[in-house]
């Protein structure tokens, strides 16, 4: 359940599952920009210690994007497992020539506070006094489904606002729900990333000293 929770949390961000040759299984691919190296290295260690990937540490890579802009990132992938196929089947649909990632209609059963912490460490941030989660790539109906899950399961109230041009949407955590969010996810967060919770992190107990699975960081 711990592995599933983490995969569900990070699939809401930029990570994805890749289905290999038919019948052979799927593998999880995790990619992160170079300003969050500690999180990526913890992530790799978590999967390696549980036998899901090799011991080779992720290395810095670069991509050349539009207008010759250089994008630096780290990435790694797990081994291929047939037991990952069902997750791929509910998170992806075949659209003519490729798989498209979607939000499953009922994913809340596998979405835990650990999932929420993983998602927030990946895509959450603070701006001014507001706590937000950047959510790119999903359509508005899918984002509403995520927000309904957060309110129905965790009583976290949100609003959806359009981001800057071509940057999708942001989910704003309403002010009266920031403390609820903090109490849920802080026990699983890497301490260096608790700044993403803003001032609320100082009102909900001591700084986090554990990461997923209750392991000391």
| Distances 39 to 8, 143, 163 between C-alpha atoms, Å | 17, 25, 25
Q: 2-101 is classed in which CATH architecture?
A: Roll (3.10)
State the number of CA atoms in the 13 A half-sphere of 45 facing the CB.
12
Mean pLDDT for back-to-back runs of 10 residues, the chain (217 residues): 91 88 84 72 91 88 62 81 93 88 87 94 85 86 93 95 76 93 93 79 44 43
pLDDT at site 203: 47
The enclosing H or E element of 140 equals helix 140-154
Which pLDDT belongs to residue 58? 83
CATH 3.40.50.300 fits domain 108-214 = no
Q: Provide the residue ranges of all domains of the chain, joining segments of one domain with +.
A: 2-101, 108-214
- pTM of the predicted structure, to 2 decimals: 0.83
Q: Residue 22: is it exposed, middle or buried by C-beta count within 10 angstroms (0-12/13-18/19+)?
A: exposed
């Amino acid at each position: 359940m711990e592995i599933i929770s983490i995969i569900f949390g990070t699939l809401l961000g930029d990570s994805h599952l890749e289905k290999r040759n038919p019948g052979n299984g799927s593998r999880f691919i995790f990619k992160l920009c170079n300003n969050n190296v500690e999180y990526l290295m913890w992530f790799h260690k978590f999967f390696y210690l549980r036998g899901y990937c090799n011991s080779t540490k992720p290395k810095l890579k670069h991509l050349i994007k539009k207008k010759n802009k250089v994008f630096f990132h780290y990435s790694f992938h797990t081994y291929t497992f047939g037991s990952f196929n069902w997750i791929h089947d509910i998170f992806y649909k075949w659209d003519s020539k490729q798989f498209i990632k979607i939000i499953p209609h009922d994913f809340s059963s596998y979405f835990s506070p650990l999932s929420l912490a993983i998602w927030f460490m990946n895509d959450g941030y603070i701006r001014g006094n507001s706590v937000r989660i950047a959510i790119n790539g999903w359509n508005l109906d899918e984002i509403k489904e995520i927000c309904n899950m957060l309110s129905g399961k965790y009583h976290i109230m949100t609003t959806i606002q359009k981001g800057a041009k071509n940057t999708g949407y942001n989910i704003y955590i309403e002010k009266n729900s920031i403390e609820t969010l903090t109490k849920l996810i802080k026990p699983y967060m890497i301490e260096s990333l608790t700044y993403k919770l803003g001032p609320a992190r100082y009102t909900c107990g001591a700084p986090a000293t554990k990461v997923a699975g209750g392991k000391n960081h």
